[in-house]
Amino acid sequence: MQDAWTAAAHTDVTEGKERRAHTWSASLTAAYSIIETTSGGTESTQEMQRMASDARRRAALCYAQQMLLNNPQIDPSSTRELMHTILSEASS
């Protein structure tokens, strides 16, 4: 997963946009690997899907934060800026 994150971050940088769409996608992929997905159409299943979706979003944000904090090439100020950008991606 770290290789996917690194590749996504590189793609975001080389595209030169202010967004971090690829990085957010890599974070979501990591979250999907640890949060179970439910299927079906009952009301309780729909509630479980909503809860799983919320949990995946939180896990993806945590993953992104950890990846940034564990990169010695990124200073704390840049980490804050990048997390702000990733939070924007997560909200869209």
- Indicate if the pLDDT at residue 67 is higher than 90: yes
Report d(CA 1, CA 27) in Å as an integer: 9
pLDDT at 68 > cutoff 90: yes
Range of the domain at 78: 2-91
DSSP of 7-29: HHHHHHHHHT-S--HHHHHHHHH
25-66 residue pLDDT tens: 999 999 999 987 766 666 667 888 888 899 999 999 999 999
**What pLDDT is recorded for position 16?**
83
Note whether 38 and 63 are within 8 A (CB).
Answer: no
Give the chain's domain count.
1
Rounded CA-CA distance 23/5 in Å is 6
